[in-house]
Amino acid sequence: MANFSTILSEWISSQKNRMSILLTLAGIAMFLPLVSSNYGLEVMTNVWFYVMLCLGLNIVVGYAGLLDLGYAAFFAVGAYTTGILTSQFGVNFWLTIPIAVGCSACAGFIIGGPTLRLRSDYLAIVTLGFGEIVRLIARNLEITGGASGLIGIERPSIFGFQLNQIVHFYYVFLILAILACFVSYRLQHSRLGRAWQYVREDEDAAEAMGINRVAVKLYAYVIGAIFGGVAGCFFAVKMTAISPETFMFQQSVLILLGVVLGGMGKIPGVVIGAFALVLFPEVFRDLGSMRMLVFAIVMLIIMLYRPEGIWPAKKS
């Protein structure tokens, strides 16, 4: 097992091999709709959706090392912004995206600003509370449709072509997932990405090196929130209905699970984590009510044997 994974990681670390793997995978993803059933596409669309959410949370948890138990809140802000603006004010869907980006970034700022002075456990509790507050606000306001949520959100069209089939959304979410990977990669390998890692490894030393740790963490929160917000926008128009129950604590835990399972801070790991998250319950659907139990056991086994996540860690 260990031998196999070293061979694998050595093979993957070659730049040429890596490019060919990526191109093959992209090719498979592109042509999947030609062979897959609608059920398969629905599941895969869900995978791409979770890839984006997990990569967004990965910026906060994986890169900056801040435990966030309320990530669904940002996803909710994006979904509700689009839902309210399109269904109640008749705004064009594409125009709601920048507004949703602004709103989720604000939400990230609001939760981040006052709480980032807290460390690990305390921060986790506050974010958990924040997630619940957002859900409860959505449940109790009239504009958000109260407990029953918003229904009849209009499907978007692009150049007069309406996106109304699962194939269309498959490609939309595939593009979003690829974009999320690209942005994550670029951020990770930049001055800001390094600053996140410094703060994660040793906050005091990072500060002594002239890094403003509060600003750096705030960046992580705001960028992570934007990922969630954009995913939420597209989620709202794909489902055409959203309700507060979509954004429960469970949802935040699920996204966090994808990040931890695959390997925090590693893009391929997080993508695999998102796959596992969506595919396991589908594969074991035949087990009926037992499937979540099996899922839990599989996860425990993974965490016991690979505590750093499925994806191998970088060694030198």
Partner 1 sequence: MALLEVNNLALSFAGLHVIKELEFSVEEGSIASLIGPNGAGKTSVFNCLTGFYRPTAGTIIFNGKSIIHKKPYKITRQGMARTFQNLRLFKSMTVLENVMSGMHCRSSAGPIGAILRTGAQQKEEAEINEFCERCLDFVGLLAVKDRIASNLAYGDQRRVEWARALATQPKLLLLDEPAAGLNHVEKQQLIGLIKRIRDQLGITIFLIEHDMGLVMKVSEKITVIDYGEKIAQGNADEIQNNSKVIEAYLGKEEDEIV
Where do contacts with partner 1 occur on this chain (CB under 8 A)?
A: 183, 186-187, 189-195, 197-198, 201-202, 204-213, 219, 223, 315-316
Least separation in angstroms between residue 73's CB and partner 1 is 21
**195 vs 242, beta carbon nearer partner 1:** 195
**191 vs 285, beta carbon nearer partner 1:** 191
Least separation in angstroms between residue 224's CB and partner 1 is 11
Least separation in angstroms between residue 180's CB and partner 1 is 11
**265 vs 273, beta carbon nearer partner 1:** 265
**16 vs 314, beta carbon nearer partner 1:** 314
Whether the CA torsion 201, 49, 70, 112 is positive or negative: it is positive
Q: Rounded to the nearest 10 degrees, how much is the dihedral formed by the CA atoms of 267, 271, 276, 282?
A: 170
Least separation in angstroms between residue 314's CB and partner 1 is 8
Least separation in angstroms between residue 222's CB and partner 1 is 9
Do you know the residue count of the chain?
316
State the Cα–Cα distance between residues 16 and 275, nearest whole angstrom: 25
Q: Which tokens go with 229?
A: 């917000």
Least separation in angstroms between residue 260's CB and partner 1 is 17
**107 vs 223, beta carbon nearer partner 1:** 223
Least separation in angstroms between residue 211's CB and partner 1 is 5
What count of Cα atoms within 13 Å lies in the side-chain half-sphere of residue 87?
22
Q: Which tokens go with 210?
A: 């002239």
For the chain, the straight-line distance linking the first and the last C-alpha, in angstroms and rounded, comes to 20
153-176 burial by CB neighbour count: b if 16+ within 10 A, else e?
Answer: beebeeeeeebeebbbbbbbbbeb
185-202 burial by CB neighbour count: b if 16+ within 10 A, else e?
Answer: eebbeeebbebbebbbee
**63 vs 170, beta carbon nearer partner 1:** 63
CB-based contact 76:232 (threshold 8 Å): yes
**158 vs 175, beta carbon nearer partner 1:** 175
CB-based contact 180:227 (threshold 8 Å): yes
Q: Which tokens go with 292?
A: 């979540």
Q: Which tokens go with 180?
A: 């999320």
**207 vs 282, beta carbon nearer partner 1:** 207
Least separation in angstroms between residue 225's CB and partner 1 is 13
- The CA-atom distances, in angstroms, between 152 and each of 77, 84, 86 are 18, 11, 10
